[in-house]
Structure 1
Amino acid sequence: MKRPKPAFTLIELLVVIAIIAILAAILFPVFAQAREKARAISCVSNMKQLGTALLMYQQDYDDSFCPPLAWMPPSGNFDTVNSPQTWDRLIYPYTKNMQIISCPSDIYSPTVQTTYGQVKRSYTMPGTFGWCWFCGNGGIENNYACANNGKFGCEFNVPVAAAGFPAITVMLYERDNCNWPNGWWNWCSVGDGTNELALRHNGTSNLLYADGHVHNVRGFPNNNSGWPNKGQYPVLPGYRCWYHDNPHQASRWSGNWHDILPYHDGIDVTCGGNQGTMP
């Protein structure tokens, strides 16, 4: 009689499959985090290059910050996609590369067809650097010769010297933009505060500061935000909190009538700080 060939039993096969499934469940999240870490590093590289270009712009324009938007009135043959001179286009002579304005982890911002080709913008500039939503509110915009001229919003020039603490002055931040293909490219080139941060990198986001360095910040659970669908805001040194000094709110850098550039109160934070009267 022939002896039966050795083989796996059904139970042994199921045990092996179960072990593989357990290992996959353990390792796949680790692989995903490692992949996201690599993308975050690529994002940091993009922001560093953008920071260098922004600093070069300052040197060529009388030590003034690059504005978020050099507005053009919507009249005549105004092209809503290609005409607005946003910060990324203003520094293009120094970068010669529009691909670095895209974060590899940005899956929400739309790609727009422009004269520069297919472009996706993943970063936004705070309004503190030269554009606010409204004029005539007594803020810094009036100190720097704000001119409305019948246009929506207010453009103003901000000298580099106005940033007393460049190491804590946010110059670019990650955002899920709203530059829809049939929209205006200037929309979302300028923003308000950390409630807009895109926490793309395992719950963290990269920030470019006025001195050229890039720093990664982590959001924290916020159960008292008062904002729908917004739950994680980092508290940033030097910035007033949204809803006026509540440390559980987002930090604000809009350049409106509230905060302008970071204010140093001795403990390096105005969100819940002890500075008393705001500047």
Structure 2
Amino acid sequence: MNNNQMCFCTSRDKKIFWGFLFTLVELLVTIAIIAILASMLLPSLKTAKDTCKKISCQGKLKQWAEAVHMYCDDWNGYFPNSDFWPTTLEEYTGATNNLYPHRAKYNKMRLCPSAQILDDSVSTTDSQYGHYAVNSNFTGDRVKLVWTVKMNMITSPSEKIFMADGNNAFFDWLVMDRYEARHANGANNMWVDGHVNWTKKIDVTAALLGIPGHARGGM
């Protein structure tokens, strides 16, 4: 190989090398930009996803509110009993006791999209488990011999919680240790007057609402 050939090959190799190097640098820069954008966007996407779940949960509580008010209209103003409220309200949610496909749809109303399913039986047709809890001071408690009350007996119904996010799939009575703040350190609440909103957990522990710390209590 003469000197001219050697110079020609070396020049070509240099061009290939520098071309590859520039391509590699461009690729690395692109990857770095994508990584930076992802780190900026992912938290926003998670926040947006969590917000959608919170809104979906509120929609379910609004359906429960309609069912509760229709039940009270049919039963002389009385709230459903705390031991049987899921099945008692079933017919007011578009489901019936004997139509299992409807009951499967009804069971989904008991599940908050932000909560974990605590028990496999939550998906069965006869399960009364769910992610929401009711205020047993209004729906009664056989242990404390507290009976259901009439809706019109509740003073300041817009300030009293009837149902809210709960964290126990077996006991569905609403007490402080079962009140679950799973939506941005707060919970969705359905109030006696039927309106639904999100509240920070610290706000609903106020003495005004009277949430006790003992088991099977209410507000």
Please classify the TM superposition score into its range, dividing by the shorter chain length: 0.7 to 0.9
**Hey, what does 1:203 align to over in structure 2?**
185
Q: How far apart in 2 are the matches of 1:214 and 1:253?
A: 23
Give the number of aligned pairs.
194
Question: After TM superposition, what 4+ stretches of structure 1 lie above 6 angstroms from structure 2?
Answer: none
**Hey, what does 1:116 align to over in structure 2?**
125
Q: CA deviation at 1:36?
A: 1.0
Change (3 A) 1:242 1:157: closer
Q: How far apart in 1 are the matches of 2:55 and 2:199?
A: 13
Q: Is 2:172 the counterpart of 1:174?
A: no
After superposition, residues 130-279 of structure 1 pair within 5 angstroms as 130-132=139-141, 152-179=143-170, 188-193=171-176, 195-220=177-202, 234-236=204-206, 238-240=208-210, 242=212, 254-255=217-218
Partner letter of residue 164 of structure 1? T
- Give the strand-richer structure, 1 or 2: 1
Partner letter of residue 172 of structure 1? M
Q: How far apart in 2 are the matches of 1:240 and 1:171?
A: 13
Give the match's secondary structure for 2:55: helix
Q: CA deviation at 1:160?
A: 1.5
Q: Is the 2:175–2:212 contact (alpha carbons within 8 Å) kept by the matching residues of 1?
A: no
Which structure has the bigger radius of gyration? 2
Q: CA deviation at 1:127?
A: 1.4
Q: CA deviation at 1:65?
A: 1.4
Q: TM-score, structure 1 length as denominator? A: 0.61
Q: Is the 2:163–2:174 contact (alpha carbons within 8 Å) kept by the matching residues of 1?
A: no
Q: Is the 1:131–1:155 contact (alpha carbons within 8 Å) kept by the matching residues of 2?
A: yes
Q: CA deviation at 1:238?
A: 2.9
**Hey, what does 2:85 align to over in structure 1?**
87
Q: Is 2:80 the counterpart of 1:66?
A: yes
- Give the helix-richer structure, 1 or 2: 2
Q: How far apart in 2 are the matches of 1:254 and 1:120?
A: 18
Change (3 A) 1:119 1:19: farther
Deviations 1:56-108 (A, max 9, x none): 01011111112212xxxxxxxxxxxxxxxx21111001111232111111115
Aligned partner of 2:64 among 34, 41, 50: 50
**Hey, what does 1:265 align to over in structure 2?**
none
Q: How far apart in 1 are the matches of 2:112 and 2:55?
A: 10
Q: Is 2:38 the counterpart of 1:24?
A: yes
Q: How far apart in 2 are the matches of 1:234 and 1:161?
A: 22
Change (3 A) 1:100 1:155: same
Q: CA deviation at 1:115?
A: 6.2
Q: Is the 2:136–2:173 contact (alpha carbons within 8 Å) kept by the matching residues of 1?
A: yes
Unaligned runs of 5+ in 1: 70-85, 133-147, 180-187, 221-232, 244-249, 261-279
Q: How far apart in 1 are the matches of 2:58 and 2:67?
A: 14
**Hey, what does 1:34 align to over in structure 2?**
48
Q: How far apart in 2 are the matches of 1:114 and 1:241?
A: 30
Q: How far apart in 1 are the matches of 2:140 and 2:107?
A: 22
Q: CA deviation at 1:113?
A: 5.6
Q: How far apart in 2 are the matches of 1:108 and 1:163?
A: 33
Among all aligned residue pairs of Structure 1 and Structure 2, give the percentage whose two residues are the same amino acid. 25
Change (3 A) 1:209 1:241: closer
